[in-house]
Amino acid sequence: MSLLTASRNLVDNLSHHVQKTLYRKNLIKLAPLYNHAKWGDTHRFAQHYQKHFAPLSRKKLNILEIGVGGYDDSTSGGDSLRMWKTYFPNSNIYGIDIVEKQGLEEERIKIFKGSQTDEAFLKEVINETGELDIIIDDGCSINEHRIKTFNILFPFLKDGGIYAEENTHISYWPSLGSNWSEKGEKSVYLANCINVGGSIDLNASHTIMAMYKRLADGLNYQEFLNPGYSPSYFDKHIVEVHFYHNLVIVYKGENNEGSNIIENNTLQPHILQELGVNSLEELAIDFTTATSASNKV
């Protein structure tokens, strides 16, 4: 390397370092300094994260991100973990990846190797980290796997915690890498797009977006007129669901506000009185076709 190139690199590195310090509280400017391809032009998550995370940035939090980056290369990845480390200067940053990434660990960044669908592994991780304040899923691109991870990890969020689901495009098309055929046939990829199903049938129930749409309904579970309905853990512990392009953000809390008309999923006595009946049965409404709640989503 020539002296000129070396000094140019040094100046670039210094300027990068100065900018990271300068923009440490502004994710919109900070994020592209860590990974321009992800945050700069194509992924617009930073503006949403800035809105939700800014009030928390100086706190001492436990933050977990699924998907360290770099895929099969164990020496590559960690951009977002390092970005969170700068943005949350008092927090512990944890990462999970199916590929060994421990070489990327730094002070305040710890990385676990395992699959986001392996319940025993995830529980071991929680044993080490303790309950979490923020969970971000930017891992596997399979709907079923993301849904399983949410079911396992959401209960380990603290009250007031935030769960962020990136890349909800997987509801509509699969990621390129894992679905390109060996011969690079585009038709195979396109067939896989159709198989995902969420583009053709927006009510397809198996996608990650469908899960969050159901969880959004759960915000109103106390308004459901459905005698015998048994609220799920998620009904009772989700207080906000924010939908953005390619990103969903969920807040945990006690969802117990109550309704003006419904109590225990049936009409309140004063409403029955106003309707001139003593019980719902007298109204002869058939609730037998109502779907029963499950504790999973």
Ligand X SMILES: C[S@@+](CC[C@H](N)C(=O)[O-])C[C@H]1O[C@@H](n2cnc3c(N)ncnc32)[C@H](O)[C@@H]1O
Rounded CA-CA distance 293/297 in Å is 9
Q: Which stretch binds ligand X (CB under 6 A): 94-102, 151-159, 244-252, 273-281?
A: 94-102
Should residue 139 be labelled a site residue for ligand X when binding is judged by CB under 6 A? yes
Compute the half-sphere exposure of residue 134: CA atoms within 13 Å on the CB side of its CA. Answer: 24
Site string for ligand X, 24-43 (x = CB under 6 A): -----------x--x-----
Judge residue 19's burial from the number of C-beta atoms within 10 Å of its C-beta, 0-12 exposed, 13-18 middle, 19 or more buried: middle
Q: Which stretch binds ligand X (CB under 6 A): 12-20, 21-29, 137-145, 251-259?
A: 137-145
Using CB under 6 A, which of 19, 74, 115, 129 touches ligand X? 115
Return the ∠ at Cα 125 (arms to 123 and 129), rounded to 5°.
Answer: 115
Site string for ligand X, 68-87 (x = CB under 6 A): xxxx-----x-xx-------
Contact 232, 265 (CB under 8 A): no
Contact 163, 238 (CB under 8 A): no
Should residue 99 be labelled a site residue for ligand X when binding is judged by CB under 6 A? yes
Q: Is 187 helix (H, G, I), strand (E, B) or coil?
A: helix
Question: How do strand 132-137 and strand 157-166 relate by DSSP bridges?
Answer: parallel
What CA dihedral angle connects 188, 190, 193 and 194, to 10 degrees? -100
Using CB under 6 A, which of 50, 53, 97, 112 touches ligand X? 97
Should residue 117 be labelled a site residue for ligand X when binding is judged by CB under 6 A? yes
Should residue 197 be labelled a site residue for ligand X when binding is judged by CB under 6 A? no
Nearer to ligand X, 139 or 231 (CB): 139
Nearer to ligand X, 65 or 165 (CB): 65
What residues numbered 272-291 form the site for ligand X, per CB under 6 A? none
Residues that bind ligand X (CB under 6 A): 35, 38, 65-71, 77, 79-80, 96-99, 115-117, 138-140, 145
